[in-house]
Amino acid sequence: MVDILHRVGITASRDAVYRALTTPEGLAAWWTSDTRGDGAPGGVLEFRFEPGGFDMKVLEAQPAERVLWEVIDGPEEWIGTQISWDLRTEGDFTIVMFGHQGWREPVEFMHHCSTKWATFLMSLKSLLETGTGAPAPYDVKISDWH
């Protein structure tokens, strides 16, 4: 099993980062404009992009600390994988430790998703620091796979 791991620091409160990870409005402002659902534990969040989308079951949502999703629908390689967000404060920064874990193989699509997650984390950072993110369909295109 192989993991996608990232770390970003955001000059915003942990509460603000947490809201951007647990409310459809917040998620729509940095990941994909077409986001619906319920970000509370037990809820399901539906993220849609031009080529398809992902449904996530919210396994954990501890205010200002941790969010954990499990992918219950979407591309085959994603199903059953888990996406974790751990927040802590370091000086003026909220440090976001991100993991997309449980990939069965380091397929080419995983390489793509690793780079793409980094650009979406920068979108999250931008949203919280400047008020403007770059959610799909306004996201940074990184390749022929978008």
Write out the two tokens for 87.
């927040």
- Return the closest-CA partner of residue 21 out of 113, 87, 72: 87
114 contributes a contact to its own copies by CB under 8 A: yes
100 contributes a contact to its own copies by CB under 8 A: no
Those residues with Cβ within 8 angstroms of residue 5's Cβ, 6 or more apart along the chain or in another chain: 97, 98, 99
Taking CB under 8 A as the criterion, the residue among 106, 132, 137, 138 binding its own copies is 106
Complex with its own copies: residue 55 or 139, whichever CB lies closer = 139
Q: If phi over 0 gives left and psi between -120 and 50 gives alpha, with beta otherwise, what is residue 16?
A: alpha
Taking CB under 8 A as the criterion, the residue among 93, 104, 105, 137 binding its own copies is 93
Taking CB under 8 A as the criterion, the residue among 16, 72, 79, 97 binding its own copies is 97
- Return the closest-CA partner of residue 81 out of 50, 52, 107, 103: 103
111 contributes a contact to its own copies by CB under 8 A: yes
Interface residues toward its own copies, by CB under 8 A: 2-10, 90-93, 95, 97-98, 106, 108, 110-112, 114-115, 118-119, 121-122, 125, 140, 142-145
